[in-house]
Structures are given as structure tokens and as C-alpha cells.
Chain A
């Protein structure tokens, strides 16, 4: 479509007498990335989530990501205020948010501008823009709209002005409520999605409210669909294969909370912090139904101490937080390590240090997770790489914590927290549940810390067990839990607590390699970058490049077999979202370069000259970026 036809189709669209553009045959696509953005409170998030759910119902692969403004109520029509959702829809399985956006529905030109400036849109991106601002009573708004409109058109984007407000007003008095369903109707047309599925979404969302709300929303939906059919001169279809297995579509935080539900843990102690809170919100809603409770403590220190107290006296407990709260918990985590109290700590990482970027994605807390708390405080650190793994990692973490009487830190991030990806519906198993609290009598002579010489493991005594009375202490202690300042005992107990990590390591499987086990370049990642790294590897392998990747789920202890895997490649590099010094900076050289976190870990453990590349932009690293980085690395080898 050239500029001219766009302009004319726009004119037609804007005018009252609709001239049907005539239904064009749908153009088949392999995938598309769609964004719906508005001021916050206008419902773009809901529209996007529904679109994702509908596409998933159709059998498409999807990955949805929330677009969240940093402030709760940013001023209306502001560049930084874009709120909404980004949905990547594909024919096959989608593992990440992908690269730049193909199509945007924007409720005003300012939020659009924000996305343009953030370079989030493909050069020829299609923009469906609310046109009401062109005829607004405030001349400043009109001027701003026209200026932006002209600029984005000049920049080569294909802009369609849509009279959404005008059309919605013919159905409802307040178009602010409902415009999102109108937009959803348009998108259903554009992507040839079944309107019936969209109606289901409305019923799901508003079914409990009165019928007039449901009816109005369905009317808006149908109107949007009709309008698009009559006025748009393009239409797509993204072929899908319906899954034969039931799938669940939730974001990472909901998956975490479902994991807590499934794990049999009974208490979650927390203090609100972005972006972790939504997991606790959801858990607060549902936990009591299965006999659990969420305790909102007075601060993170109290939350961690409360969880420790509960774990000590009963089943393993969980505390959920993000960066700043994770820092506050460190002293208490050390106590759990010292007392050998099982504990699961979830850190949904955000940008740091300090208050940093509360709503943004970063992987900056790996070192704190492993080395945090003073002294030698060995703990297990895991990182789910997918939404599905968010669910299962909690179950695994609970089990490890209770088997080894250790603290298990689970690291997710703002990216996973707010992204949705369908995964096979979990089938509950009794084995996920914590066993009942042991209240059997302790045999005479048994000691509260009877460390095993080989594994460092000791059975823990739980209050209520007759004969098990002792005082757990954060001070150095002997097998009787008596305070001990003896040099030998101190060293021995440090050894035992450390041995438990080795014992766990012996039970871990080597990570699998994505791609061939031999080649020119191996990329190592961890956490939420998994999908993007593997997609980049896949693309490059299709182009004939000898590249592979390996994703680490356990960061502490590192599983066996890593060195052998690395030996199969000419070069190994890490890709992650935390700081590493840029080699091109004037004063940076090999004697002072700070490597990114996982690179430091691997370099020190395996004495291999692993390179690193990292990006800390507050958003998931794009597969296209990773491909470019890997290409550069391959070039360096020549």
C-alpha cells in the first residue's frame, strides 16, 4: 500500500458515509507483534490480554508483555504514560517477546510518541491512531496531534486514523469505558480471529456484572469488527494449530503463586514491592481456600523473620520480594542458613541499585543471591527461564529447602512477572506437597545437629517433638546446638553447611545444550532470557552458523557437566541483563573490566576465558539484538 492509498482510505474512514474498502483476502503471516496502548485506566491492558487469550484459544503461540508506566497515574496524554499490552502472535510456539512491533493501536498520539522514541516500532509499522484529537476543542491538543501525526507519517509508518471515540459514542455515553473492546473487535477482524472467542472473554470479565454492561461491551466489540471490515484495506491470518492438550495462560507472578499453592507451603510472608506484589495479591485471593495464608508484615525484615519462625516450627515457608526488600532480608537469610531452617525466598528482580527502576526488568541480583548475607552463607539459587518454570521452580525449591534444610532463592524478574505464555496445564501430584510436620518423639541421645560427615545433612528437630528440646541459635554452635566458640567446631560447621551444596550438586543433571554439542560459539544464559537466546540461536543455525546455547536453571550450586559442554566450542560467551564494563571504553581493559555476573561465576569456576555481553535497558533483550551480538562474536573469531 502506498502513501496515497493510505491517505485516501483514511479520508474515507474519517468521513461519515462509510465506503467499504471491500474485504481483501487475508495475507498469511508467520507471526506479528501487536501493541495496544493508551493512558492508564483506558483499558488497553485488558484489550491486550484478551487478544492474547483469544489467539491462544485459536491455537496460536503467544507471548504477551505488559507495558507499564512508571507512575501510577501519569498525566493524561503523556509520552511516558503509555500503558497497555504487547502481544506476539505466531504460528508456532513463541518463547519470548520478540523484536520490534508490527502493528500498534494507540488511543492518543502522545503514548504513541513514547513508543516511537523508545524505538520499539518496526520501520514500516502499521499504526491505528484514535483521530478524535484532530478536532479537539483545545487548539494545543490539535496542534500536538497534527505535528505528531505528520512526523510519524513522514518517518514512514503506515498510519490509519480511526474515529474510535466517535464510533463508540454511538453505542455508549462514556467511550473511555469500552473503547478497548471496540479496539479488540478491530483486532479480531485484522487477525481473522473468531469473534465468538472475544465474546467469551467479555463474559469471563464482566459476566458477574449486570447484563447491560456485558451487552454494551459485546456491541462495541462487534462495532469495532464491522468498522474494520468495512474500512480497512488489509487483513491478516496467522495459521494456528490447535493444541490437543489443555494449556494455561498466566503471567510469571501468577505462575509463582500457583506454584506456592501446589507446593503445600502454608504461609507466605511478604511486604509490598513492585514488581513482586501481584504474586502476593493473587495468593491473598486464593491461598485461604486451600488452608494457607498471606501475612503482610510491617517490613521485609519482619516478613523474612516471620517466615523463618513459621518454617522453624512447621513446614517450609515462603517470602516473596524484589531487590530492595531482598537487601533488607539478608541478615535474616543468614540466620536461616546458620540455623539450617528451610526457607524459600523469591526475588522478582527489578532495576537496581537502590530504588532503581521498579517496573523494569533486570538480572542484577545474582551475586547478592549467591553471596548475600555476611560470612559464608551457602544457599541454593535457582532461576526459572519460562513462565512454566516459574510454577515448577517453587515446587522444586520447597522440596530442596526441606530436604537439605537450606535457604533456596528463586530469581525471576519483572519481564517474567508481567509476561504471559501458555504452557501445558499442570496435573497435580501428591508428591509436590510438603510432608506433614514431624511430631514424633526424638530418640534418646539424638542431637539437633547431627551432621553427616559426608553430606553435611542433619535431621531437624521441630518444636512439639518430645525429647527434641534445644535452643536454635544464630551463634556458632555444636551438635547439641550449644553456643561454641571453639575454633575446630566453627570450621567443622562451616564445612558441613557448605557440603550440603555439594550434596545437592551431585543430584543435579548436566544442563542440556540447545543446538549441536560442538561448534564455534556457545552462549550461556540464565533466567528470563532463555526464549530470546534460543530463538537467536535457532535463526542463526538456520543460516548455517555453528552456534548453540545453554541455559542455567541452577546458579548455585552449578550443575555438573558444564566444563565438558564448554569444551565442545571454540568460544563461550554469556548474555544477561546486568552490568558489564564495555571493552570499548577508553580506560577499560582486561585488568579492570568488570564482567557480568554469570560470566564471573563461570570464569572463576572453570578457568575458561569466557566473554560476556550484557544490556541493562530495563527491558527484555530482543532476539534480534542477541543475533547481532553473536554475529559480532563470530566475526571476532576470524
Chain B
């Protein structure tokens, strides 16, 4: 692999100052008022602020409205198949740890068809930043209940209201061994959304960010109770987590001191039903990353391959008599 040395990289980066437009590509085709627009804005800002090199950045997604995300980033993108964004992203990261990899996935994509991959991705804990665009509905396929739809949600497949209690992506994620970063954001508080996206990006390991995302097209009012009453949003602040501006704190008075290293508290907070906790629920920078555990320190060169292959072949070789003596 032609990888640049660290110094070369640094030098080059100092020369480049990226603008927002450097990350924009195409005009988003989401509905007006769709929460995905806010997520896109936050992520583009992150890329600019962090000076991420567009060619070294990959956005991987599945299928859904939200999975259109990579098309609107002027980086590398992989818009794959429904539910499989995580394993694709894991393959990218395993092969190329030098790339910065983001994942955009919907609540159907991640919590339904891709649920097995979701659980295992948490366990692998690869250095990926995962955004769960949770609009609590299947957007692209036109309004079917999703696993995160609140019970009673009227949809095209549940015209009399959905039957089951919603799955809680936060408690599920926090229940998986090796979980290393869990946060929740809401699309309507861009300042906090950005802070969370940024913290997620800086965490080494799999950062899982559930974003409550509005879908004005199919569930226009579903998040209103939380949007209209700032007290129903609980900001999680801590010196080791996020700290909020005075302006913001004026509006969002309901704040909770929460140390993100406290798993028991994180699980408790994640379980709350009437309040929407916003902030970092859990962070543990010490969980090993799968790519570090598995990445070989050996380069796959022809010399190494030749030596390795021959050593293996030796085990199974039947030598002709005269050569046998030589080999021995």
C-alpha cells in the first residue's frame, strides 16, 4: 500500500484548509424539514473543522432515506444494501485503518434488518462513527412501522396502531459487551448535535450516536411533545462529557450531571421514557478495537508470501529420494 508517512501527511494537511463546499456534493433530495438535513449540516461542519481529507474519508450507508447521506458528501461513499452498512464499513476499516469511516443507518436499516450486525459491530468495537438516523418509521418505503415506532403508531402496515412497545436502541447498545461510546442527539438542537458528532468522531472505537430525526412526511407530529417542551429534553453535562453554553442552558434548564464512565447510570438514563436524554451516555476509551487486535504487523510482500508459502508446502511435500537428502 502506498501510504504516506505521518510527517508527509501533516505537512500536506497544514497546507490545506477545507471549506464547507469541499464536502458538499449534490443537492439533498430529502423532504423540507427532514431531520436528515440537520445531520448533514453537522457532519459537513465536523469534516471542515477537523480538516478531514475528503479522499481519506468514507461514508458507508445501507438503504433508506437516511442512507442517501453519502451522496451528499464530497468524500468517498458506499451506498450499499439494506441493513448491511455496518459489515461493509467493518471490511473497509479492517483493510484500511488509515481511512476515517462513518456509517449512516436508519432505524429499519440498523435495528430491524441489520440488527444482528448492529450487535456484533458493538462487540467488534472498530473505530467507526455510527449515526443512527432514528425517525421511528420506514421513510423510503412510505410509512411502515419500524422497531423504534412508539406503540400505537399508525402506519401503512399498522393502520390501527402498532402493536408492540418500541425497541430502545440506547439500552440495547448499552447491553452489548465491549460497548465503548453511546450518545443521543436530537436534530432540532444543532449546537448539541454538532458537539455530540464531534465527540463521537474523537472517540477511538465504535461510537454509536442515536439521533432522533424528524420525518415531517410520515410522522409530522411525533416528536412535537419534546420539541415544544424544552423541559422534556434532559441535557447530560459533565466535565468528562459535554458542557453547554449559557445561552443553551437558558432554554434547556433540565440538565443532569452524568459521568459518562458510569455504566449503571447510563443504563438508567437510557431507560427513561418520558424524558429524552441528550448527550454522552457512556464512554470508555479503553475497549480494544478489533482492527488493532487483528491487524497484522507484517506487510503482505512477495518475499514474505514466498517464504510463508514454502514453509507450509514443506509440511506436505514428498521429496524425491535424492532431493530428500539435500533437504535434510
Contact = CB atoms under 8 A, between A and B. Distances in A.
Interface in B23-58: 25-26, 54-56, 58
Interface string B262-304: 0000000000000000000000000000000011101111101
A356 interface: no
Nearest to A475: B79
Contacts of B25: 469, 471
Given A258-B313, A436-B2, A289 B308 contact: yes
B3 interface: yes
B7 to A, nearest CB: 17
B205 interface: no
Interface stretch (B153-161, B169-177, B315-323): B315-323
Nearest to A473: B79
A331 interface: yes
A332 interface: yes
B113 to A, nearest CB: 10
Given A301-B87, A302-B117, A474-B80, A56 B318 contact: yes
Contacts of A157: none
A261 B77 contact: no
Q: Which of B26, B86, B95, B305 has the most CB of A within 10 A?
A: B95
A438 B99 CA distance: 14
Nearest to B100: A463
A261 B95 contact: no
Interface stretch (A112-120, A172-180, A245-253): A245-253
A270 interface: no
B91 interface: yes
Contacts of A335: 80-81
A293 B94 contact: yes
Contact of B300 (A243, A266, A426, A439): A266
Contacts of B55: 463-469
Interface in B76-129: 76-81, 84, 86-96, 98-99, 116-117, 119-120
A428 B87 contact: no
A584 interface: no
A290 B90 contact: no
A427 to B, nearest CB: 9
A15 interface: no
Majority-rule SS of A interface residues: mixed
B211 interface: no
A469 B91 contact: no
Interface string A314-347: 1101000000000000011011000000000000
Contacts of A438: 2
Nearest to A247: B318
Given A57-B318, A298-B116, A463-B99, A290 B309 contact: yes
Contacts of A463: 55-56, 58, 76, 92, 96, 99
A269 B70 contact: no
B71 interface: yes
Interface residues of A, number: 76
Given A248-B317, A433-B305, A470-B76, A267 B94 contact: yes
A312 B317 contact: no
A422 B318 CA distance: 8
B120 A298 contact: yes
Interface string B191-208: 000000000000000000
Given A286-B312, A293-B294, A469-B76, A314 B299 contact: no
A63 interface: no
B17 interface: no
A258 B309 contact: yes
A313 B96 contact: yes
B302 A306 contact: no
A290 B94 contact: no
Interface in B225-260: none
B95 A267 contact: yes
A258 B306 CA distance: 11
Given A243-B320, A289-B298, A312-B91, A305 B80 contact: yes
Contacts of B77: 469-473
Contacts of B184: none
Contacts of B301: 291
A437 B96 CA distance: 10
Contacts of A290: 298, 300, 304-305, 307-309
B309 A261 contact: yes
B318 A309 contact: no
Contacts of A593: none
B95 A309 contact: yes
A468 B76 contact: yes
B94 A483 contact: no
B288 to A, nearest CB: 15
A332 B96 CA distance: 20
A308 B88 contact: yes
Nearest to A250: B316
Central interface residue in A309, A315, A430, A472, by most chain B CB within 10 Å: A309
A314 B1 contact: yes
A297 B95 contact: no
B313 A471 contact: no
B79 to A, nearest CB: 4
Contacts of A254: 316
A428 to B, nearest CB: 4
A246 B320 contact: yes
Contacts of A56: 318
Contacts of B78: 309, 312, 471-472
Contacts of B145: none
A436 B120 contact: no
Given A308-B91, A470-B77, A473-B79, A249 B316 contact: yes
A53 B316 CA distance: 9
Given A244-B320, A439-B1, A313 B58 contact: yes
Contacts of B99: 313, 463-464
A302 B120 contact: yes
Contacts of A436: 1-2
Given A254-B316, A471-B79, A482-B26, 19 more contacts: A56-B318, A246-B318, A262-B305, A264-B302, A266-B95, A288-B296, A291-B299, A292-B296, A298-B119, A302-B117, A306-B94, A309-B87, A309-B89, A309-B94, A314-B96, A317-B95, A428-B306, A464-B98, A474-B81
18 contacts: A245-B320, A266-B95, A289-B311, A291-B298, A293-B94, A309-B88, A309-B89, A309-B91, A310-B94, A313-B91, A332-B84, A335-B81, A425-B317, A439-B2, A469-B75, A471-B78, A474-B79, A474-B81
- List the 8 closest pairs (A to B, CB-CB), nearest first: A309-B91, A471-B77, A314-B95, A291-B300, A305-B87, A290-B308, A310-B91, A310-B95
Interface of A: 53, 56-57, 242-250, 254, 258, 261-262, 264, 266-267, 269, 286, 288-293, 295, 297-299, 301-303, 305-315, 317, 331-332, 334-335, 422, 425-426, 428, 430, 433, 436-440, 463-475, 482-483
Interface of B: 1-3, 25-26, 54-56, 58-60, 63, 70-71, 73-81, 84, 86-96, 98-99, 116-117, 119-120, 294-296, 298-302, 304-313, 316-321, 323
